[in-house]
Each structure stands twice: as structure tokens, then as C-alpha cells.
């Protein structure tokens, strides 16, 4: 068997694979020769940021990754935590940002398909999907097209495969114009001690290719995901995969059945970099080699070259290492589900990835060179914050017009506090996302306990396959969180705030936070400001996760999220480190949502501190100013507030709980009123030095509003005094169904008085109204 003779490549050909000149020289040094076309492509995808984290790996090493319940941490397809009673939860988050920018429907759909494969590859049955989405301004026609396409893609894949989409978050800001963020998170339930790993082993064991056929779709998707978006990015549509959720449903069942046989030694899904990534990572993790014959791979197109086979990211494909002699048993399972399953290679002793094609060696590279011993860039960190952050930090509320009990002058026009509250509720970032989640089947599998929009986190019943719903008393809660404006203005504090908010949201439904999966969405790390943002955000995540005892079990890094402005200059997105967090609900009868449930219940504010307008939604939306320092998290107070909230829920004292986030106290109160249409009367103390807009719309960490039945108030307040000291205050009570939201000062001066019907209508229709052509003066 002869080896295909390689030929040197031009600088343009090398750059087209995403390889830097110095990296190409390193490839030549390692091989002892020039690579051929297939090998060059293999290095291009495996040495991309998307696959090897060459700019972020040193920063990720500071994350805490171990904990009492952590069974599998970073390095596998998904993290796994112990839920007790022989049950385990697999979970992971990943991005599909660039594909969704050029082909929103398929980009988002295949993002869902890819994260689900990460889950069931571990041997877990998928039980829930979440997402974290960022878009530009909805007044922009292109943004609306991307937004609608992404939502339709998520809905299509999740609904067809039969996994509920239970929660998520969506932000709209011009910083994401042209470069949306589509982060998909999935959860899966394991009922066995046998976690399926991805490291190949057993010299001579067969390598099985299973699932769909291989085509030319998704070519070079990993390299595409590691480059900046440009005006030519629409030409990269072939780099966007095409998904088939019905085929993946069959793949789920076939894989889980195959794992039960005990004949599967290792498994890896074919996501980014396809066959190249799956073979090299499986071989490297096992310290062995893999030989694969491309002539045996089921192809959907004719005339495919080794380069195309190896870089294809066709969806719904897996690679297995099987026990020798049990191949037929596994093949029969997949054929029963109408799927391809062939022995395409074997595990070899020499630690290389050897690719055969038409009787020749088409590629041969050491597995470690592709999957582990990759370039690592330790970049120099700015010694001082960049100018934009220094300038923003100097902002104070003294630069705003003065305000009175009725309202404030906004850019030459007087607005009442009622009008400002309604304007904030009409802001797409704050407004109801029901237009989105009504397209998702969030109740398939019949285990969704708290529905989207009704609570600060999703709650899913943990139901083993053979159990009846009434027999299942424990659940898991899940959330995704990040305020990107906070991170932009102060990456360290903003990242800490994202972790704290995720844990707070879990605590608001009564769940004990367990662990984190993170998705780091940033601009170019090759630019000093971009790397400064990334490095400080990672430091913030690490510190916050240690403080809250929520280890990181894995995640995803998406860099080079930049688009060209009208002058052709690349503009990065807001740095957006999305935190996906899961928690344990020990008793599903002791949970609560965010909305008032009973008239005359008492309303309490936990974590009572002075709020600030710095970095707030009010400042950005009403006054068009993005400045100030975001709230700094006091972790002792944060932990105490969350613990008190969880205890109150589990004791049955708390009827509803909702954290204060964008829009501050007034928006949180309005949201608590809207869900069940109850009014509320709230009285707040105002100091002489405090601005009224700070009181109403200022933001601060570690705050939760709860409602409590008056019969429980005495024992509840005694508990609060013991555990929160002075960091709580009783602020009012729930009023009649269909009533008003009244916010007054302690001396009965009215600040806000608005009917629930009006705030509900504004809040619920804000996004849908912006999608109606007439609303925007368009002609169709």
C-alpha cells in the first residue's frame, strides 16, 4: 500500500483552512514532511479555536471542576452529576452562533441536534432542552429574519425529536446585529452506573460508523465557527449542516439499546470536524490509534474526496468502538431502527489516525498532534482596564436630570414613572417571551412541572423509564443566565453576577444549585481588549463558582464573534459568558413560581440593599446611556438570601419567589402581578439622598421578592431576623384579582399606579407587535 504524495500549499490555501503560517511550519515539523490536502484539512479543523481552545485553555484551567456530586467533569461529551438513588444527570451547553447567522433555521436546529447527541452519547436519555439567545434590534428587518428563523429551527428539532424545550433567556441589543448568539443546553437522565466514555481501547476492536450517511454539508464547520463573520459569510452556507430530527430520534433509541448490551466500549458523536474529530479524540483519550477505511463509509453523494469525508459535518452520525466479535449484535440493533451501521475500521496499537481510501493511505497523523498537543497561546493581559471601561466606570447618577415623585425629564420630554415602567415592560429584553416558547412543545414527555414564563427556572420531574408520575417525588431545575451589559462594563464583576443570578434563579424555585456548564461567547482573543474581557470573565466565573460550590463540568468556547460595521471595521459582540446551571429539587411538592398566588399575602424583599442605576436596563433603555459599574456580588449575603429562600419554600411558607434583575424592583413587582393577574400595594422607605428612579428601577445583586401567607408571617419573620438580620423588609401585600400595581413611599406619596391589565397587555405583546409589518411601517 503506497502513501499519497503530498504537495506544498500556497499561503492562501493554508489560510483558507484557518491555519497561521507558523502553525503550518509546526505541522511540517511534526510530520517530517508537508501534509497532503486531507491532512491539512484535519489540522485546520482540529487546531481551530472551536476544537482545541488554543486561546482559552489556559484560562479554563482555573475553573473548579470537582465536587461531592460531580461524577464526570470536563473532557467528556457532557458533565454528569449524582442525583442520588442510582439516578444521574448529564448536561451540557454549546453554541451554534456563526451557522445561525448565515442560515438561521438550520443553524439553530442542528445546534439542538448536536447538544442532544452529546447527552445520549453518555448513555443518558434526553429529558429537556434550554437555550440562551442574543439578537440585534428587532426594528431591523435582518434581525427579525434571523430571530424568527432561529426560533423556528429550535422548535422544529426539539418538537420533532420529542424533547421538551423548557426554559431559556433572550436579549436584544444592537451589539449582536449580524452576529446572533444561539446557545443550546440539554439535560439527560441516566439510570445506570455505566457511563459511556469516549476513549477507544482494545487493540483489534472494531470501529463502527452508525447513523446517517456522509455528504458534503457542514464542510469545515469548525473552522467557520472559529473565524469572524464578514460580508462574504453568506457564501459559507455549505458550512452549515442540515439536520433530520426524526432520524436522530431513531438514533437515540438505537444508541441507548446498544449501550444496554454492554458491547460498546466507547462512543463519540460526530459534531464539529466530523470523522476527523471523532477518530482523533477517541484515539488520543485511549492512548491508541484508529484505522478507518473511507470506502466503507455510507455516502450520500458520489465522488467525495478524503478531504470531504474527513471534514463533513453531516448530522446524526456516531462512531463506536465495539467488543470484537459482537459487531453483528450492534449492527442488528441499528438496522432495526432503519439506520446505517458498518464496521469501518479498527483500533490499532500505533497511536495514529490512519485514513485509507481506494487502496492507499490518504492521511496518517498522530492522534495526540490533532487532539491534545495543539497550539496554545498564552497572551499578554492588559495591565490596566481599556479606556472604554475606565470611562464607563466614572459615570454617576449626578449626570442625569433631577426627578420628582411623578417622573423625570427624558431628553427634553417629561415622563411619568408609570410611562417609564410601561416602556421598560415593552422592551423586548424584558417583555414576555411567550411568542417564542409557545412554538416549543414544552410538555412532551409529561415531566415539565413549572412551565416557561411561570418561574425563574424550569423544573423537570425525574422519572425513571418504568416509573409512574405519582411515584416520582424529586426533580431537577435548570436555567441559563448572563447580563451581557454587566460583563461588557466590568467582565470580572459581570461574570460573577451571571453565576450568582443562575444560582438565585434555581433557589427561587426551591432547588439546591449543583453544577455549571458554561458557554463563553466573545470577540477576537487576538485583540488586547477582547482577551482582557475573556480573561477577566473567566476569573469571575471561577471565583463565583468556588464561592457558591457549583463546579464547572464542561462547556463551550465561541470566539471571534465579530461583524463588520458600515466602515468595514470589525465590531465585537458584548462579551457573553452564558451560565447554564442545574439544581436538585428534593421534593416536587415544595416548589413555587414567580407570580402572586393569593390575595392578602404579604410581600417581602430579601437582600435589602441600596440599588444603583449603573449598568442598568433603565439607564440604557430610557436614557440611552451604557455606563457605570455593574453591581458587585456580596457572596455571604448572596448565599444567605438563597438559603433563606430555599428553606422558606421547603417549609411551605413562601408562596412565590422572583429575583430582581433587569428593570429592578418595579419590573419585578409587575412581573409577579402579571402571571396570575393579582394586584399589589407596596410601600418603600426613601432616604433624602436617594433618587426615586434608583428606588424603582435600580439594580443590585442578591435580591428576591417573595409572597407569604399572613398565617405564616410570624414564624417566617422570626426566621428572617435570625438568618438575614437587617437585610430584609416587609414591603406590602398582594391585592385583588384584576387590580392595580401601586408603589408608594412610606408617607403615602404615590410613585406608580397602573392597572394590571395595562401592564400585562404591554408586556405580553411587545415582541409580537414588532414582528407585525404594519407596526414598523413596512409594505408587504
For residue 483, give the C-alpha cell.
447580563
| Residue at grid coordinates 425563574 | 456
Q: In what side-by-side order are the strands of the sheet with 125-135?
A: 70-72, 79-84, 87-95, 181-190, 125-135, 165-172
Distance CA 555, CA 73 (A): 10
**Burial grade of 299 (CB within 10 A; 0-12, 13-18, 19 or more):** middle
φ and ψ at 209, to 5 degrees? Answer: -100, 125
Helix (H) or strand (E) holding 255: helix 245-260
Please tell me the distance from the alpha carbon of residue 669 to that of residue 664, in angstroms, as a whole number: 9
> What is the rounded CA–CA span in Å between residue 94 and residue 6?
36
124: nearest Cα among 512, 582, 529, 626: 582
> Angle at Cα 33 formed by Cα 30 and Cα 37, nearest 5°?
100
| Residues 6+ positions from 340 with CB-CB distance below 8 Å | 209, 210, 211, 212, 213, 298, 334
In sequence order, the 6+-apart residues with CB closer than 8 A to the CB of 701 are 497, 500, 501, 607, 631, 632, 633, 634, 638
Query: Torsion angle, CA of 398/401/405/407, rounded to 10 degrees?
Result: -140
Q: Determine how many CB atoms are found less than 10 A away from the CB of residue 416.
A: 16
- Helix H or strand E encompassing 207: strand 206-211
Q: Is 96 a catalytic residue?
A: yes
Measured from the Cβ of residue 429, the count of other Cβ atoms closer than 10 Å reads: 23
Distance CA 666, CA 752 (A): 9
Q: Kindly name the residue from 96, 98, 156, 623 that is annotated as catalytic.
A: 96
| Ramachandran sector of residue 767 (left: φ over 0; alpha: ψ -120 to 50; beta: rest) | alpha
Distances (CA, A) of 485 to 183, 429, 700: 18, 12, 14
By the 8 A CB rule, do 367 and 351 touch?
yes
Secondary structure letter of residue 332 according to DSSP: H
How far apart are alpha carbons 688 and 670 in whole angstroms? 26
Chain center to CA of 342: 35
- Cell triple for residue 633? 456580588
Q: Is 34 helix (H, G, I), strand (E, B) or coil?
A: coil
CA end-to-end span of the chain: 63
Q: From the candidates 50, 98, 442, 623, which is the catalytic residue?
A: 50
If 0-12 CB within 10 Å is exposed, 13-18 middle and 19+ buried, where does residue 82 land?
middle
The answer to whether residue 50 is catalytic is: yes
Q: What is the DSSP string of 364-418?
A: EEEHHHHHTS-----PPPPSS--HHHHHHHT--GGGSPPB-SSEEEETTEEEEHH
What residues are paired with 481 via a beta bridge?
Answer: 579
C-alpha cell at 761: 397587555
Catalytic site residues?
50, 96
Amino acid at each position: 500500500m503506497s502513501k499519497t504524495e503530498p504537495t506544498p500549499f500556497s499561503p492562501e490555501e493554508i489560510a483558507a483552512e484557518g491555519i497561521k503560517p507558523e502553525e503550518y511550519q509546526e505541522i511540517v515539523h511534526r510530520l517530517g514532511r508537508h501534509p497532503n490536502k486531507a491532512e491539512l484539512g484535519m489540522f485546520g479543523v482540529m487546531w481551530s479555536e472551536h476544537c482545541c481552545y488554543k486561546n482559552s485553555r489556559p484560562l479554563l484551567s482555573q475553573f473548579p471542576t470537582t465536587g461531592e456530586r460531580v461524577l464526570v467533569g470536563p473532557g467528556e461529551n457532557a458533565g454528569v452529576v449524582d442525583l442520588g438513588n442510582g439516578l444521574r444527570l448529564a448536561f451540557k451547553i454549546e453554541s451554534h452562533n456563526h451557522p445561525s447567522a448565515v442560515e438561521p433555521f438550520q443553524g439553530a436546529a442542528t445546534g439542538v441536534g448536536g447538544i442532544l447527541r452529546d447527552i445520549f452519547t453518555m448513555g443518558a436519555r434526553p429529558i429537556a432542552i434550554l437555550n440562551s439567545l442574543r439578537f440585534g434590534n428587532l426594528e431591523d428587518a435582518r434581525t427579525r429574519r434571523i430571530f424568527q428563523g432561529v426560533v423556528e429551527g429550535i422548535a422544529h428539532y426539539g418538537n420533532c425529536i420529542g424533547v421538551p424545550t423548557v426554559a431559556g433567556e433572550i436579549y436584544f441589543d444592537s451589539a449582536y446585529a449580524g452576529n446572533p448568539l444561539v446557545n443550546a443546553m440539554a439535560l439527560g437522565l441516566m439510570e445506570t452506573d455505566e457511563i459511556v466514555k469516549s476513549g477507544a481501547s482494545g487493540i483489534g476492536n472494531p470501529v463502527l460508523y452508525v447513523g446517517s450517511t456522509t455528504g458534503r454539508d457542514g464542510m469545515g464547520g469548525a473552522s467557520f465557527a472559529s473565524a469572524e463573520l464578514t460580508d462574504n459569510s453568506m457564501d459559507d452556507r455549505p458550512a452549515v449542516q442540515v439536520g433530520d430530527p426524526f432520524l436522530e430520534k431513531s438514533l437515540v433509541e438505537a444508541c441507548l439499546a446498544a449501550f444496554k448490551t454492554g458491547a460498546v466500549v466507547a462512543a463519540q458523536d460526530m459534531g464539529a470536524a466530523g470523522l476527523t474529530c471523532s477518530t482523533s479524540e477517541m484515539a488520543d483519550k485511549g492512548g491508541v490509534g484508529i484505522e478507518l477505511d473511507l470506502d466503507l463509509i455510507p455516502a450520500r453523494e458520489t465522488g467525495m474526496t478524503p478531504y470531504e469525508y474527513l471534514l463533513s459535518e453531516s448530522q446524526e452520525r456516531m462512531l463506536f468502538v465495539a467488543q470484537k466479535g459482537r459487531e453483528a449484535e450492534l449492527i442488528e440493533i441499528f438496522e432495526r431502527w432503519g439506520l446505517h451501521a458498518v464496521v469501518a475500521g479498527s483500533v490499532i496499537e500505533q497511536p495514529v489516525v490512519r485514513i485509507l481510501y481506494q487502496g492507499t493511505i490518504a492521511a496518517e497523523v498522530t492522534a495526540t498532534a490533532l487532539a491534545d498537543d495543539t497550539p496554545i497561546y498564552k497572551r499578554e493581559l492588559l495591565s490596566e482596564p481599556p479606556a472604554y471601561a475606565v470611562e464607563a466606570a466614572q459615570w454617576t447618577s449626578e449626570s442625569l436630570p433631577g426627578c420628582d415623585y411623578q417622573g423625570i425629564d427624558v431628553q427634553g420630554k417629561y415622563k411619568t414613572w408609570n410611562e417609564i415602567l410601561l416602556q421598560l415592560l415593552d422592551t423586548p429584553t424584558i417583555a414576555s417571551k411567550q411568542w417564542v416558547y409557545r412554538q416549543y412543545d414544552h410538555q412532551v414527555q409529561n415531566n415539565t412541572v413549572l412551565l416557561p414564563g411561570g418561574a425563574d427556572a424550569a423544573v423537570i420531574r425525574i422519572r425513571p423509564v418504568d416509573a409512574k408520575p405519582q411515584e416520582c417525588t424529586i426533580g431537577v431545575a435548570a436555567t441559563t443566565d448572563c447580563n451581557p451589559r454587566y460583563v461588557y462594563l466590568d467582565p470580572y464583576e459581570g461574570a460573577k453576577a451571571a453565576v450568582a443570578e443562575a444560582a438565585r434563579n434555581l433557589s427561587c424555585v426551591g432547588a439546591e444549585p449543583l453544577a455549571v456548564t458554561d458557554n463563553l461567547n466573545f470577540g477576537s482573543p487576538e485583540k488586547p481588549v477582547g482577551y482582557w474581557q475573556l480573561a477577566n470573565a473567566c476569573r469571575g466565573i471561577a471565583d463565583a463558582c468556588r464561592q457558591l460550590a457549583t463546579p464547572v463540568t464542561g462547556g463551550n468556547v465561541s470566539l471571534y464573534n465579530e461583524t463588520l460595521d458600515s466602515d468595514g471595521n470589525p465590531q465585537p459582540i458584548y462579551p457573553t459568558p452564558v451560565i447554564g446551571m442545574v439544581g436538585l429539587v428534593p421534593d416536587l411538592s415544595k416548589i413555587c413560581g414567580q407570580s402572586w398566588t393569593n390575595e392578602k399575602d404579604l410581600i417581602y424583599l430579601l437582600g435589602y440593599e441600596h440599588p444603583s442605576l449603573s449598568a442598568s436596563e433603565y439607564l440604557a433603555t430610557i436614557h440611552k446611556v451604557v455606563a457605570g459599574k455593574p453591581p458587585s456580588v456580596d457572596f455571604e449575603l448572596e448565599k444567605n438570601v438563597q438559603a433563606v429562600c430555599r428553606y422558606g419554600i421547603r417549609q411551605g411558607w413562601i408562596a412565590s419567589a422572583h429575583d430582581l434583575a433587569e428593570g429592578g424592583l418595579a419590573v419585578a413587582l409587575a412581573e409577579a402581578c402579571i402571571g396570575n393577574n393579582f394586584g399589589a400595594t407596596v410601600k418603600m422607605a426613601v432616604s433624602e439622598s436617594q433618587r426615586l428612579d434608583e428606588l424603582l428601577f435600580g439594580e443590585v445583586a442578591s435580591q428576591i421578592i417573595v409572597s407569604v401567607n399572613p398565617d405564616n408571617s410570624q414564624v417566617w419573620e422570626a426566621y428572617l431576623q435570625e438568618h438575614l438580620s437587617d437585610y430584609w423588609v416587609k414591603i406590602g401585600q398582594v391585592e385583588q384579582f384584576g387590580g392595580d400595581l401601586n408603589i408608594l413611599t412610606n408617607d403615602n406619596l404615590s410613585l406608580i399606579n397602573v392597572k394590571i391589565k395595562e401592564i400585562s397587555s404591554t408586556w405580553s405583546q411587545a415582541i409580537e407587535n414588532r414582528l407585525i409589518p404594519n407596526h414598523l411601517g413596512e409594505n408587504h
